[in-house]
Amino acid sequence: MANTNMKPAQPAQPAQSANNQKRKIVIFSDFDGTICMQDTGHILVDAHGFGAKAREELEAKMKSGELNFRDASDEMWASLHVPFDDGFVLMEKSIDMDSGFAEFHQYCKANGIPFNIISAGLKPVLRRVLDTFLGAEESASIEIIANDANISQDGQVWKPVWRHDSVQGHDKDVSIMEGREIAENECEPDEMPLIVFIGDGVSDLAAARHADVLFARRGLRLEQYCTENNVPFIPFDSFADIKREIEAISQEDQKKTGGVGKPVRYNPRANLWRRISSKEAVPTLMAAATPSNEEKMFLWPETFSDYKQSQPETITE
């Protein structure tokens, strides 16, 4: 019997318009573990590939540094031998979607807030899940920024088409910077977009550090990392929580202008990172001789993990 969460959701009532917000809000979200409570790739590989034990061995090699994410993922997807449609028979029984996501999606549509998915997974898989859960028409309004895939008709070949030529395959930070640039070009000259990122794991940090507002799923690795390293974030249990916060942020943003009196939800490090990573800022950083601890953490988060402060800057209400 199919999981009832996979049935097309009934459209929610349009939320009160937020079109008079001070700045354009653009939302980017991870998918696996964030919108979908499970990992879609793991479900397919455990059932139709080399199984959970072999997958866990690959993950251990990634943690030890023996394999990078891209090479391990190539092995994982290559182990699949199932036609694309057949793979989703199990998916429909196994997947749980976040209980508040459908309503949140409707809220974004009603208020003209672009919602984008940034994922290290395969775009055809994610699109199929969204089509099944939201319906094809609603799904089509969501931009998916992920890796493509070559999947043979008989299902004997599953090969990722990586978005970037890097060990990650998809550099989420590059994608969110590209999204920010597009949003900035769509704004008036004296306006700046408000970039929101939603995630669950440490792998999301590369994209999250570019966001003005960061949501981390409660109890998972991204929240833990942000708490330990004093990264401002808002914890959430479901997208219903995020909807309430975005509504509050829109109201606050109407009262704030420029850099004066910014709400506590905003992430000052987003501006720091853009300043550090911009071409114009490189000579300035070099001239400074020694970056601060905070700058080091955001330049090299994988190797500089001991930077902690006594009070975590967790944002709750």
Catalytic residue status for 30: yes
Catalytic residue status for 39: no
Distance (Å, whole) CA 249 – CA 269: 18
The token duo for 27 is 């939302």
Ramachandran angles phi, psi of 308, nearest 5°: -135, 150
Q: Which of 32, 46, 171, 173 is catalytic?
A: 32
The token duo for 272 is 């720091």
Task: Name all contacts of 267-273 with Cβ < 8 Å and 24+ positions apart.
Answer: 267/211, 267/212, 267/213, 267/214, 267/231, 267/232, 267/233, 268/232, 269/209, 269/231, 269/232, 269/294, 269/298, 270/195, 270/209, 270/210, 270/211, 270/212, 272/298, 273/209, 273/210, 273/298
Residues belonging to the active site: 30, 32
